[in-house]
Amino acid sequence: SEKEYSLIIIGSGAAGLSAAAAAAETGLKDILVIEKAPFIGGHTALSGGSVNAVDPEMQLRQGIKDSPELWEQQILETGAYRNDPALVRTLVSNAYPTFQWLSGLGIPFQEEVFEAWSGKHKRAHSAGSKRNGMLYLRTLNRHARDLGVQMLLNTKAERLIFEDGRVQGISVIDKNKRQRLIRAKAVLIATGGFTGNISMRMRYDQRLDGNIRSTADPNGTGYDSASGDGILMAETIGAKTVDMDAIQLIPLQGGRLLDYVGGDIFLDSSGKRFVDESAEVRFVSEAFLNLPDRVMWVVTDAQSTKNSGLEAKLLTGVVDTAGSIQELADKMGVDRAVLKYTIDRYNKFAEQGRDEDFGKTTFTQKIEKPPFYFGKERFDAHFSCGGLKINPSAQVLDQADRPIKNLYAAGEVTGGIHGADRLGGDSLISCFVFGRIAGLKIAEELNRR
Ligand code: ADP
């Protein structure tokens, strides 16, 4: 008969590899990671790599005041209090030990603590270079393999084996396109989010049709990354999901000129404002999705603080310039009088510090000094805040909130930590924290048997 593994981990991103490494560190043998792509890493490989943690050392050195309680409060507020408080507590109290664990494995975290984009506080740590996701993955992967963890690439999990009221393994399509059953004492689902699965996300938000791209699959060529497989498999055996409609959209990939600090205005295809530009991204993306044609212009002028990508955006034509409001209107293809009215009215609001139309409160300038800069913005589906419901031990729960025997989940596939929206810098650390918790919990259970 075929070999029985102790633990099968589905997915080789941050969550899956953390679990593999943590479980193997306890001495647990026969751990198998399966990955449907020909390479490891999933969405994590594309991550910038900011990792939030309240750390008493580096933050203190920079004079930054912080506490787990403050972080917790910000997570709940950002999540519109839809979060599971027990999971939030688990995240904030395990982040620093997990960060130290990663440092100990050789991740060269830099001394400087910073505020991640939309992170709301200076508590992000990073290993420096641009695409740090890959660095974490390589380190965890090497460590796990050194400890004997096995890995199968090009192997797709299709179904959970659920017999006698408990999970007993999985059914896969192997690299030769053959179906195989692999038995295991425990299964961890770490398959990532579902932002790349158009029909699935439209089930929860009709507006997220094929015109919206996924950041998990930026070129649209991917190995159907972020496809929601793990959620679908677990739902089939009765798992519960939460906050599935909370799909975060971000504008990072488009023509964004500034950092929403108050210098830009956002206009629709007729040249009118439609939102408070300084509102949280969640509200801006919501207003964007509600535009009938989803055309959003970002307009600013010579005085504004441009973000670093501007040169490249001008070269590639994502951003253009205009010498006057009239030329701007012509280049945007909007009515000159409408645009002039919009900008005059906005400048009046900026001067009085009060926006009578959309309630903007942060103004850093008027839009008046040529050249004017403008570009079309695009929002991409970035992160599934919702997913499988888990408890603080990373056990997957059924409709009655009872753990499904032998089934665990960690990472973007889970819901409940972030609620309606998440702080920048919180996603990777959640993968590391709950992946590690899952690995340790499973090992504890199995080593006891
Ligand atoms: P997280 O950040 O939560 O760890 P990632 O997106 O980084 O999630 O990683 C998830 C990984 O799981 C990806 O590499 C993806 O290809 C893999 N995966 C998704 N569905 C399956 C499946 N059905 N079988 C095997 N691997 C899968």
Tokens representing 306 are: 């441009």
pLDDT of residue 129: 64
Q: For 183-218, what is each residue's pLDDT tens digit?
A: 999 999 999 999 999 999 999 999 999 999 898 876
What number is the average pLDDT over the span 290-318? 86
pLDDT of residue 251: 84
Q: For 26-73, what is each residue's pLDDT tens digit?
A: 999 999 999 999 999 999 988 889 999 999 899 999 999 999 999 999
To test ligand 1's pocket by mutation, which of 36, 132, 170, 173 has the most ligand atoms within 8 angstroms of CB? 36
pLDDT of residue 337: 98
Q: For 295-306, what is each residue's pLDDT tens digit?
A: 999 999 998 877
To test ligand 1's pocket by mutation, which of 40, 191, 217, 432 has the most ligand atoms within 8 angstroms of CB? 191
Tokens representing 69 are: 């309680």
List the residue whose alpha carbon is closest to atom 3 of ligand 1: 411
Residue 167, SS3 per DSSP: strand
Query: How many angstroms does the Cα of residue 229 sit away from the middle of ligand 1?
Result: 8
Tell me the C-alpha distance between 125 and 104, whole Å.
15
pLDDT over 70 (residue 257): no
| Residues having CB within 6 Å of any atom of ligand 1 | 10-16, 34-37, 41-44, 156-157, 190-192, 223, 225, 227, 229, 411-413, 431
pTM above 0.90, yes or no: yes
pLDDT over 80 (residue 344): yes
